[in-house]
Amino acid sequence: MVSLSDKKEGIISRSWQRLNAFPGKIKKLGQDDSRRITHSLKVGLAITLVSFFYYFEPLYSGFGVSAMWAVLTVVVVFEFSVGATLGRGLNRGLATFMAGALGFGAHRLASLSGNKGEPILLALFVFIIAAAVTFVRFFPRIKARYDYGLLIFILTFCMITVSGYRDDELLEMAHKRIWTILIGGFTAVAVCILIFPVWAGDDLHNLVANNIEKLAIFLEGFGPEYFKILEDEEAPKKVSEGYKSLLNSKQSEESLANFARWEPRHGKFRFRHPWKHYLKIASLTRQCAYRIEALNGCLNEETQTPQEIRYKIEEASIKLCSESVNTLKELALAVRTMTPPTSANQHLISSKIAAKNLQSMLNTGLCKETDLLEVIPVATMAYLLVDVVSCTEKIADSIQELASLAKFKSTKKPEERQAQPNLCPNRSMQTNSGISIPAAQPNLCYQRSMQRNSSISIAPHHVIKIHQESPCLSVDPTLSKTTV
């Protein structure tokens, strides 16, 4: 008995704790994204607007009970983003119209076969259409865009066909239903677009830029953390692990891209903005995040490589990190502001030079070390860094492609860009830990148009073709054609 009452008390106290935590959770949910609050209020408003149908005598008497379809439409169509709402609305409208027409045809056809044949024929039609359309819903590409429409198609067809058997006012019912759905859909879309619209396209655009920036933020903290440049006991973990959200973001990116394709021209985006290309950039960013994950593993290593071994590649590594950070930040900025990533190119070239230097240093500096076990973790880290540069280049290429597909326009005149090669040296150079790393010197860089065939030919993982050349800090005009 005691244990039972103890259990009861436990349940009560846990419920009480949960109840107490609830307001905090609500607050956090709203603070994380205040658009959630706006969206909730918008849904409430749209439904209230549509429910006025019932209150106003003339409107109500026109539609009768069918008016409920307007409420139903608003509830099921209203989604968080404009694209999702439009997609569902169009799916619902078109599917209702097409299924209604087909259902009416099926009903007429069945009615020709006499009293006995009619129910059998109708049942057969319902079975065939329901089974066939359900099967079509399994096609991945159709499912991604038209799943809801197909569901509504089955629903409407069955309801029209079957109720048609009973009711000869089919046309009037169809007419009312289409009108109420149009009214409901229009209300939902209007409220969704006119009051604080949430564009899936904007979300995808920002997500891609943020993801690239997350990589930069990690790398910014990585160099100082790995080489223990600033040992600050109070801040034990300086590197940002924000990049981890990238590792599993594929599906949310895909659904955003699907929604964005329903959206009309808005803000900076044209009607046929290349949303699919964002998925390509996102995929390359994720590839880079896998390398970053491996680099993060290097921070937690147990083998304590002597500081002097690390010291040999410190400068080159820090330089590579800072140039990669600059490249990635410029790329993120280019996506965000929709300008061609010209200034990123300069940093990319510098980072490739840094990668070359790092490799030479490994070759000349570390080969003298005979204790392989101490060298290997450092060498692995260095190779991962070089790998990150090759990933960065792929991202830069695909953003360059996006820039030409989406016709990104430069906000500055060419002369201005020439004079100001580094658009945000202070912002991108300041590391998390407050260390300021000198920006790429303009005299080390030169303007180069990003060309696809100039990519570093580095294999997917760890494996780099290394030219045993002496360290090269001077500008090599043929660099864009050599294999770093």
Return the residues of window 59-78 that contact its own copies according to CB under 8 A.
60, 65, 68, 71-72, 75-76
Could you say which of 94, 101, 193, 298 contacts its own copies (CB under 8 A)?
298
The encoded tokens of residue 272 equal 């046929």
Contact status, residue 463 vs residue 252, Cβ threshold 8 Å: no
Which residue from 6, 18, 31, 127 is in contact with its own copies, where contact means CB under 8 A?
A: 127
462: DSSP letter:
S
Residue whose CB is less far from its own copies, 48 or 447:
48
As measured in angstroms, the least distance from the Cβ of 254 to its own copies is 10
Judged by CB, which is closer to its own copies: 290, or 446?
290
**Binding residue (CB under 8 A) for its own copies from 7, 8, 462, 481:** 462
- Minimum CB–partner distance for residue 150 and its own copies (Å): 11
What residues numbered 95-124 form the site for its own copies, per CB under 8 A? Answer: 119, 122-123
Closest CB 296 distance from its own copies, rounded Å: 8
Cβ(290)–Cβ(303) below 8 Å: no
Structure-token pair, residue 442: 């303009």
> 266: Cβ–Cβ under 8 A, 6 or more apart, which residues?
82, 197, 199, 201
Q: Which of 1, 2, 112, 372 binds its own copies (CB under 8 A)?
A: 372
For the segment 128-157, give every residue that binds its own copies (CB under 8 A).
128-132, 134-135, 138-139, 151, 154-155
- By CB under 8 A, name the one of 21, 109, 457, 481 that touches its own copies: 457
User: Which residue lies nearer to its own copies by CB, 347 or 394?
Assistant: 394
Cβ closest to its own copies, residue 251 vs residue 453: 251
The half-sphere exposure of 157 on its side-chain side, counting CA atoms within 13 A, is 26
Give the footprint of its own copies on residues 156-175 (CB under 8 A): 158-159, 162-163, 165-166
* Residues of span 26-45 touching its own copies by CB under 8 A: 26, 29-30, 36-37, 39-41, 43-45
CA 275 to chain centre: 11
Q: 127, 133, 132, 126: which is closest to 149 by C-alpha?
A: 133
Is residue 454 within the footprint of its own copies (CB under 8 A)? no
- By CB under 8 A, the count of residues binding its own copies is 86
Least gap, CB of 55 to its own copies (angstroms):
5
d(CA 64, CA 68): 8
Give the x-and-dash track for 248-277 against its own copies (CB under 8 A). x-xx--------------------------
Report d(CA 397, CA 450) in Å as an integer: 7
Shortest Cβ 435–its own copies spacing (Å): 25
Q: Is position 460 an interface residue for its own copies (rule: CB under 8 A)? A: yes
Shortest Å distance, C-beta 461 to its own copies: 2
Is residue 198 a contact residue for its own copies (CB under 8 A)? no
- 14: CB partners within 8 A, 6+ apart: none
The type of residue at 384 is L
| CB neighbours of residue 380 within 10 Å | 16
Q: Return d(Cα 369, Cα 159) in angstroms, integer.
A: 80
User: Is residue 4 close enough to count as binding its own copies by CB under 8 A?
Assistant: no
Scan residues 432-451 and list those touching its own copies (CB under 8 A).
Answer: none
CB of residue 439 to its own copies, shortest distance in Å: 31
Q: Tell which one of 102, 193, 230, 366 touches its own copies (CB under 8 A).
A: 366
C-alpha count within 13 angstroms, C-beta hemisphere, residue 120: 6
Query: For its own copies, which is the closer residue by CB, 9 or 371?
Result: 371
Q: Which residue has the tokens 């696809």?
A: 452
| Residue the block writes with tokens 């995929």 | 283
Q: Tokens 């860089």 — which residue?
A: 445
Binders in 214-253 for its own copies, by CB under 8 A: 248, 250-251
Minimum Å gap between C-beta 163 and its own copies is 6
Distances (CA, A) of 184 to 7, 72, 73, 283: 50, 8, 5, 38
State both tokens at 299.
């921070």
CA 125 to CA 132: how far, in whole Å? 11
CA nearest to 199, candidates 16, 63, 39: 39
Is 144 or 475 the residue whose CB approaches its own copies more closely? 144
**C-beta of 16 vs 139, nearer to its own copies:** 139
**Closest separation in Å from C-beta 35 to its own copies:** 10
Helix extents (H) in 227-341 = 250-260, 275-299, 307-337
338 three-class SS: coil
